[in-house]
């Protein structure tokens, strides 16, 4: 059932209408939970609807054959000050975790701690001299503004850093031509530190040393403890589960569900991926369809592996720009999750990017490529054996910014807001954000709902 659910003369009796609350939230990921909690605290009645049997979105944990697997390497890199009072109420058993985060280069098996641009002393001298000369030339020359992320990354970091890490890693992670991305698409590009290029002789990396994103907070019982704790703050009976939205009628302000029921709304808050939202709209204007077509993304497979024995993973979080392996990152959750695996076992989480047209890969092929790559790297060897595996597809994983997408996103947000539809979460708002920022985006949606009532 899609947006064509409604016809002029639907066969049979009309589908049942649900008891109505004026404000609907569809999607109980962290953004939807943030919106629900804020509306509850403002005394605004709402109904929250979730397709799955429990809240959380991608912030979920599963037990499979004695291993605990999250739906992705989700951790808390920090708690914003504005969320500190909320987190105090959640009573989360947060562990302060420290583990190694590094980039694996193939010359030969060189490990550089993250962030790469701040640990350049781990590179051999010939690479470092190239970096120094490129950075000096860049600072002495006046170049026109960069027109693409590729040009910007080379101009700000030098060609050597781009070719060693930035270019190959981001191309593999996004499966997208970096020359077609705007120069300002990310705020996470760490500038190189010249002092780190010059200090000391080349030294081996110590992947067990905490650095970069290797220091974080994590709930002891798994990342799903966070959405469950948020859900406990909501009033009973406000959430419906196992109910999938399949159509949105903007003119009638009506939404339909897969079970044949429907409901009306005064306002609608959505955390579904923005391209999927447009697909659900009944008879969207051509300019809306055109704008949605400009939204680019990469899909991933999260391949979770339960291994008997000690896998030779050189750190907790390892990135692989190496083109000889198809995945881009390995995370070893047993490095920071107590009780996440049976005694004598290791859990691994391997991420492989794909796209249905730019880089098609099926789930079976993804598993094969991950296992063969791990064997090639020596992470899996004769002393280990595979106990269990699970390949989880995430259709919308990495949001890809293009030269045309910012205008398309602004247009879609404005169009939907004009129909009392508010967006939240990374995929609903279509903006890269961490978990705390997703919660805050839901709270901002609640503020927008409350604003007309305050007039």
DSSP 110-141: EEEESSGGG-GGGS-HHHHHHHHHHHHHHHHS
- Give the structural domain span for 11: 3-60+224-291+402-454
User: d(Cα 282, Cα 167) in Å, to the nearest integer?
Assistant: 40
Tally of domains within the chain: 1
> Is residue 96 in some structural domain?
no
Beta carbons within 10 angstroms of residue 265's beta carbon: 23
> Is residue 418 in some structural domain?
yes
State the pLDDT at residue 8.
30
Tell me the pairing of strands 67-70 and 296-308.
unpaired
Q: Cα 75–78–79 angle (5° rounding)?
A: 115
> Is residue 387 in some structural domain?
no
> Is residue 241 in some structural domain?
yes
> Is residue 145 in some structural domain?
no
Question: How confident is the chain (455 residues) per 10-residue block, as mean pLDDT?
Answer: 37 48 95 98 97 96 95 94 97 91 85 91 91 87 86 92 96 97 86 78 51 81 96 96 98 97 96 98 98 98 98 92 96 90 96 98 98 96 96 98 97 98 98 97 97 63
Instruction: Residue 32: name the closest of 344, 438, 310, 402 by CA.
Output: 438
State the pLDDT at residue 198.
79
> Is residue 378 in some structural domain?
no
- H or E element: which one contains 442? helix 435-454
State the pLDDT at residue 6.
36
Q: How far is CA 193 from CA 166, 199, 404, in A?
A: 15, 11, 32
CATH of the domain at 38: 3.50.50.60
Dihedral of the alpha carbons of 374, 207, 304, 357, in degrees to the nearest 10: -70
User: The whole model's pTM is what?
Assistant: 0.91
> Is residue 263 in some structural domain?
yes
User: d(Cα 345, Cα 348) in Å, to the nearest integer?
Assistant: 10
> Is residue 217 in some structural domain?
no
State the pLDDT at residue 137.
85
State the pLDDT at residue 401.
96
State the pLDDT at residue 210.
46
């Amino acid at each position: 059932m899609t947006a064509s659910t409604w016809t002029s003369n639907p066969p049979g009796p009309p589908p049942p209408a649900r008891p109505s609350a004026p404000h609907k939230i569809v999607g109980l990921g962290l953004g939807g939970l943030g919106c629900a909690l804020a509306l509850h605290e403002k005394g605004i009645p709402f109904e929250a609807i979730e397709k799955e049997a429990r809240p959380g979105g991608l912030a979920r944990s599963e037990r499979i054959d004695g291993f605990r697997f999250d739906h992705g390497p989700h951790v808390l890199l920090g708690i914003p000050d504005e969320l500190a009072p909320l987190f105090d109420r959640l009573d989360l058993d947060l562990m302060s975790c420290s583990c190694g985060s590094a980039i694996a280069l193939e010359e030969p098996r060189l490990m550089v701690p993250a962030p790469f641009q701040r640990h350049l002393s781990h590179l051999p001298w010939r690479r470092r001299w190239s970096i120094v000369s490129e950075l000096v030339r860049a600072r002495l020359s006046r170049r026109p503004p960069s027109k693409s992320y590729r040009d910007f990354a080379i101009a700000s970091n030098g060609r050597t850093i781009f070719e060693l890490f930035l270019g190959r890693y981001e191309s593999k992670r996004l499966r997208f031509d970096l020359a077609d991305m705007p120069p300002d698409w990310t705020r996470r590009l760490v500038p190189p530190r010249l002092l780190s290029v010059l200090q000391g002789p080349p030294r081996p990396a110590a992947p067990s040393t905490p650095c970069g994103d290797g220091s974080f907070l994590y709930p002891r019982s798994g990342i799903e403890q966070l959405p469950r704790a948020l859900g406990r703050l909501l009033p009973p009976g406000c959430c419906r589960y196992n109910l999938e939205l399949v159509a949105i009628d903007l003119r009638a302000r009506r939404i339909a569900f897969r079970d044949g029921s429907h409901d009306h709304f005064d306002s609608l808050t959505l955390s579904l991926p923005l391209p999927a939202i447009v697909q659900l709209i009944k008879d969207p204007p051509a300019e809306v369809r055109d704008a949605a077509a400009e939204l680019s993304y990469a899909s991933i497979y999260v391949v979770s592996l339960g291994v008997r024995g000690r896998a030779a993973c050189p750190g907790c979080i390892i990135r692989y720009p190496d083109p000889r392996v198809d995945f881009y990152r390995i995370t070893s959750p047993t490095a920071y999750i107590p009780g996440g695996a049976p005694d004598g076992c290791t859990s691994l989480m391997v991420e492989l990017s794909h796209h249905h047209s730019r880089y098609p890969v099926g789930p079976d092929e993804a598993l094969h490529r991950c296992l063969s790559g791990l064997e090639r790297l020596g992470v899996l060897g004769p002393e280990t054996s595979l106990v269990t595996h699970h390949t989880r597809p995430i259709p919308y994983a990495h949001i890809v910014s293009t030269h045309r997408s910012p205008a398309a996103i602004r247009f879609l947000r404005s169009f939907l807001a004009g129909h009392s539809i508010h967006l939240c979460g990374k995929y609903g708002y279509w903006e890269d954000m961490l978990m705390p920022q997703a919660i805050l985006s839901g709270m901002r949606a609640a503020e927008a709902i409350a604003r007309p009532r305050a007039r």
